[in-house]
Amino acid sequence: MEVKITKLDNFGRGIAYVNNKICFIPNTLQDEVVNIEIIAEKKKYLEGRLLSIKDASLERQKPKCPLASICGGCDLQHLSFSAENDFKQEKVKAILHKFLNLPASKVQDIIFSSDYNYRNKVTFHVQNKQIGFYEKNTNTLIEIDHCFLLAEKINNLLPILKQVVFKNNIEEIIIRVTNDEGQVMVKLIGDVTTYQELLTVVDVLYINEKIVTPKTTFITTIGPKKYSLSIASFFQINKTLTKNLYDTVKEEIMKANYSKVLDLYCGTGSIGLYLNDYVQELIGIDYLESNIKDANYNKDLNNAHNVTYLCAKVEDVITSFQNIDAIIVDPPRKGLDSKSKSTIVNIAPQKIIYVSCDLLTLARDLAFFQDKYEIDFVKPFNMFPKTYHVECICSLTKKIIDKELL
């Protein structure tokens, strides 16, 4: 049937209406007239598949990758980069207005850099001696020879990895490179008996949980700071835009003379160490032992004598803190738990800086803080071009309450 796409949903899918029922159609754009077939009928919505385009959007572009429409890695290769940034900016405004009634003026212009070759880490699946990604919403492997989202250093390894895969029973491959692509780290998971080809082209090599190279970590940089990483370390995957993200956090901290700062879900210490020169004391908390091990090494690497790291779940230890001036939170996709949110309000820091990779949990958590905190701004970052994901930084300042009115 022929339908007109009215807009994109939060996942970058086109929306049309069929018999007054909403229908989601991937790989379509706003205002396009397209021919589709219905592939699933649910109680409240339909799912459609694009067959052909009758009237194309001016923002439509030919995807670089021939697998873009089926691979699970990309959602928006058919959308121009400028329109992609507009889509993400408007998505942030719409979701925060819907759940918080946040004025659009509070959402700043989206920050972006290159739209390809930005990822410094990837996980490949291996099936039947083939390396690739899963087809969207399935466990069907799509074999790849090149991925346009990956740092070129990773793509250059693929021919050698295919040789190694042919000789072994490998299930998964994880690759990480430094932000300047000067060093590379690889982990092979499975039954691996021969890997000599890799020893001359990688700096750190894991065979399952065993490291078989003299080097066990490598050092990458963000701005003036150095970070030692292992294969399991949590670290931002955009090799160019992370500096802009961290600069925004640092600028907020530099606006006041904060003496004691909490860095919750600190990972390898990347955010806290980026700004520790501007506070008297910084305490980082993360539950992963490997993250804290890396964070402590990074503390020494950057001569950060005013930083302390604790290995614990945030919700288990946060109640022990008081007299905190600012709190930085960079939680997992599920956001903050209720105990941590309540405790943060009780600690009553002057400033909260929330780094989020999920708009819906950000909106939920900001709603909790709204009574006591003013939302200064939300700044979106297109950290994941060609996907529907968008990262945000939100700055909150404690409201001044006139006691005479209480």
> Does residue 231 form part of some domain?
no
Residue 38's Cβ-side half-sphere holds a number of Cα atoms within 13 Å equal to: 14
Parent domain of 38:
2-60
Residue 283, domain CATH = 3.40.50.150
197 and 95 in a single domain? The answer is no
3-state secondary structure the chain: CEEECCEECCCCCEEEEECCEEEEECCCCCCCEEEEEEEEECCCCEEEEEEEEEECCCCECCCCCCCCCCECCCCCCCECHHHHHHHHHHHHHHHHHHHHCCCHHHECCCECCCCCCCECEEEEEEECCEEEEEECCCCCEEECCCCCCECHHHHHHHHHHHHHHHHCEEEEEEEEECCCCCCEEEEEEEECCCCHHHHCCCCEEEECCEECCCCCCEEEEECCEEEEECCCCCCCCECCCHHHHHHHHHHHHHCCCCCEEEEECCCCCHHHHHHHHHCCEEEEEECCHHHHHHHHHHHHHCCCCCEEEEECCHHHHHHHCCCCCEEEECCCCCCCCHHHHHHHHHHCCCEEEEEECCHHHHHHHHHHHCCCEEEEEEEEECCCCCCCCCEEEEEEEECCCCHHHC
Residue pLDDT, tens place only, 29-74: 999 999 999 999 999 999 999 999 999 999 999 999 999 988 888 9
Question: Which pLDDT score, from 0 to 100, does residue 70 have?
Answer: 87
274 and 381 in a single domain? The answer is yes
Give yes or no for a contact between 274 and 235, defined as CB atoms under 8 angstroms apart: no
17-21, long-range: CB within 8 Å, 24+ apart, which pairs?
18/46, 18/48, 21/45, 21/46
187 backbone dihedrals φ, ψ, rounded to 5°? -125, 125
Residue 71 or residue 248, greater confidence? 248
Question: Which pLDDT score, from 0 to 100, does residue 387 have?
Answer: 96
The last residue of a domain, from among 44, 60, 76: 60
> Does residue 79 form part of some domain?
no
Q: In angstroms, what CA-CA distances link 186 with 132, 172, 220?
A: 15, 11, 15
Residue pLDDT, tens place only, 272-315: 999 999 999 999 999 999 899 999 999 999 999 999 999 999 99
pLDDT, averaged across the chain = 95
270 and 134 in a single domain? The answer is no
Domain count, the chain: 3
96 and 205 in a single domain? The answer is no
389 and 246 in a single domain? The answer is yes
Residue 159, domain CATH = 2.40.50.1070
pLDDT greater than 80 at residue 209: yes
The last residue of a domain, from among 162, 192, 221: 221
Question: Which pLDDT score, from 0 to 100, does residue 136 have?
Answer: 84
Give yes or no for a contact between 295 and 286, defined as CB atoms under 8 angstroms apart: yes
Residue pLDDT, tens place only, 378-388: 999 999 999 99
Question: Which pLDDT score, from 0 to 100, does residue 231 have?
Answer: 92
> Does residue 67 form part of some domain?
no
> Does residue 74 form part of some domain?
no
Question: Which pLDDT score, from 0 to 100, does residue 300 have?
Answer: 96
> Does residue 228 form part of some domain?
no
Question: Which pLDDT score, from 0 to 100, does residue 405 have?
Answer: 46
299 and 388 in a single domain? The answer is yes
Residue 9, domain CATH = 2.40.50.140
Question: Which pLDDT score, from 0 to 100, does residue 406 have?
Answer: 46
The last residue of a domain, from among 196, 221, 246: 221
> Does residue 72 form part of some domain?
no
Residue pLDDT, tens place only, 354-367: 999 999 999 999 99
> Does residue 316 form part of some domain?
yes
Question: Which pLDDT score, from 0 to 100, does residue 400 have?
Answer: 82
